[in-house]
Amino acid sequence: MIVGAGYIGLEVAAVARQAGRDVTVLEMADRVLSRVASEPLSEFYQKTHRDAGVDLRLGATLKSFIGEDGKLKKVELADGETIDCAAALVGIGAAPEVEIAAEAGLEIANGIVVDEHARTSDENIWAAGDCTNFPSPRYGRRLRLESVPNAMEQAKVAAANMAGGAEIYDALPWFWSDQYDVKLQTAGLMEGYDELVIRGSPEQKKFAVWYLKDGKAIAVDAVNDAISFAMGKKLIMAETPLDPAQLADVSVNLKELV
């Protein structure tokens, strides 16, 4: 049993199915990845998991776990249905652990508040990684990102500045997820897009969802499409004006658009 159809829940579901386990996924929202992905990507992953034999329940709310002799036996849903299960994973989001920072007197607001140099409210303390709330020059707002690339790149900036530098952290966010034979690579943040372009074929499991704002790419979700991911990072960072028709045309070489 997996509660929550975010990336963690879906990745574990894929591994469990490939190991031959029966898997049920419960998700309160009406689609998977509802907080981090567009509808086309959600639909693709819903079909992928159901085709693999996952019992995916959308709009389903967990009421309780039911145990016997110290072992998990069932889960009960809000509508009264019970489902047998021997193990459960709850993947419904994470909260930053800031207790030590707060006790040290550092400013806290959805994480440890840092400036563009990764310095906290105490000039002698720097912070980097999932728990930091930092200003993004690229997106014009504060962000807190939970990803390996963010932790690594921000740590480099923090280390350089601890050694006397004055570097600004403004790396392009990127992320990946492996599920079954599908590799998703995401560059940028999709929030605020005003146009969506699909390049390639979801049916063939090779496509990219491009997110545009004011005619420029702000993010791309590339599924088994390393070229769209690589070129997408360049197009986003260069703020290149794009023609949606050209972007959707797979006969157009993306390198020519950079």
Are 221 and 236 in contact by the 8 Å Cβ rule? The answer is: no
Beta-strand ranges (E) seen in the chain are: 2-3, 24-27, 55-58, 62-68, 71-77, 82-84, 89-90, 112-113, 132-136, 141-143, 174-179, 182-188, 195-201, 206-213, 216-223
Final residue of a structural domain among 41, 61, 90 = 90
Question: Structural domain of residue 184, as residue ranges?
Answer: 174-257
Decide if 121 is inside a domain.
yes
Maximum CA extent, the chain = 64
Please list the residues that pair with 195 across neighbouring strands.
Answer: 212
Please list the residues that pair with 76 across neighbouring strands.
Answer: 64, 82
**44 and 67 inside one domain:** yes
**185 and 214 inside one domain:** yes
DSSP 8-class letter at 241:
B
Decide if 71 is inside a domain.
yes
Per-residue model confidence as pLDDT tens for the chain (258 residues)? 999 999 999 999 999 999 999 999 999 999 999 999 999 999 999 999 999 999 999 999 999 999 999 999 999 999 999 999 999 999 998 899 999 999 999 999 999 999 999 999 999 999 999 999 999 998 889 999 999 999 999 999 999 999 999 999 999 999 999 999 999 999 999 999 999 999 999 999 999 999 999 999 999 999 999 999 999 999 999 999 999 999 999 999 999 988
Supply the CATH number for residue 251's domain. Answer: 3.30.390.30
**11 and 84 inside one domain:** yes
**45 and 109 inside one domain:** no
Please list the residues that pair with 135 across neighbouring strands.
Answer: 142
